[in-house]
Structure formats: structure tokens, C-alpha cells
A = this chain, B = another copy of it.
């Protein structure tokens, strides 16, 4: 609202193609309430200030959630990849926007439907509680990272986080741009780039390509990230 350059389409979210009745994880009690949705790279999934009536689980691809400041600066709150849930928010208005970092497939759950479910099935309510707590823990760790750490420490911690949730714990495919990484870590693209280069010079990582990082010395990275 406040800014022309930011938040592109006020409430024009959920324009992804929907396919009803997900056939994913049939054992999950939530599965009946979800519908599969698909978003192309860069598409907004929901907007800050928009209606808070759904949440999502990532099936494939990567999603970012972020806030925009009135001067155009952007803070990325988190990246979500396969199996993770996002879009929990207190109140009726979205505090964050969500966008597809890469082309991605999600399962969308209607809050109202899920809350109905939770009435009948205790485990659903407990699961929602766990999701909320996970989001809280993640946000707290993010705040810790942003608080009092240098550029190298931030980047090292970021890479290690990606590594541990990656299939191959050594080779990390970065779905996001340097700008995304910067906005997540509170750094500029230049500093992110320079830090990558420095870590490579120090033999800790190898930049196979701009978007593919190989960890050469994870222990040294751990030490850096502290």
C-alpha cells in the first residue's frame, strides 16, 4: 500500500492453477483438506496485508516469505523447501508476503477447513501447534543470526543450514539469487558475493558455479558460524 515499488499486486494472490484432491501423503489427516497448487518462478503466493485464510506445504521448489519496508528495502524472513509448512499468521491479515523463489508445487490448506478438522481429530490441533512452534524457533534463530554476527559468520551459518536440509550434504544448489541471500542475512549483494569469494580463497567452499556451492571444509565453516 505505502510503496509503489514494493508489494506488486495488493491482493492478487493465489492465481496459481489449482488441482483439487491432493493424492500426497494419504496418511496425513490433513490431506483431505488440501489442494495442490502450482506457481511459476517469481509469482506472489500471498501478499502482506492480504487475507489470512490459508497456509501451505511445499511439495517441490522453494518459497520465500518477506516484509517490505517503506523505503523499498526488503527483509526475507525465511526460505521454505520440500516438506516445510509456511503461511501461519496471527490475526486476519498477513504480516508477510510469500513468493515463489523457483517454480514450485504446494499443497494449500484452508484454515477454516483445517480448524473444523482439528475439532474432530486431536492430532491435527497438536500438529498445528508444532508447526507454529517450529516457525517461532526458526524466527528466533534468524534473529540470533542477524543480531551480532559478521558477514562471514552469517554466510557460513546460512550455507550450513542449507546443507543439513539438502539431500547431498556437500553440494548445495542455491535456488535463490545473491539479492535474496543478502535480504535474508541483512547484507548487500556485493558483500555476499565478496564473502563467497573469500570463503573460496580460504578453501572452505568451492563455487562450482554461481548457484552451486560445494563445501570443502564443513568443520571450518561450523567453527566460523560458531
Residues of A whose CB lies within 8 Å of any CB of B are 67, 69-71, 73, 75, 77, 88-90, 95-96, 119, 122, 125, 128-130, 132-137, 139-140, 142-144, 146-148, 183, 186, 226
Contact = CB atoms under 8 A, between A and B. Distances in A.
B136 A90 contact: yes
Contacts of A77: 140, 143-144
Nearest to A226: B70
Nearest to A128: B129
Contacts of A129: 125, 128-129, 132
9 contacts: A70-B226, A75-B143, A75-B147, A77-B143, A90-B134, A95-B137, A125-B125, A146-B146, A148-B183
Number of copies: 2
- Nearest first, the 9 A-B pairs at minimum CB distance are A139-B139, A136-B136, A146-B146, A147-B186, A132-B132, A90-B133, A143-B143, A75-B147, A142-B143
Main secondary structure of the interface of A (DSSP, over half): helix
Contacts of A143: 75, 77, 139, 142-143, 146
Contacts of A186: 146-148
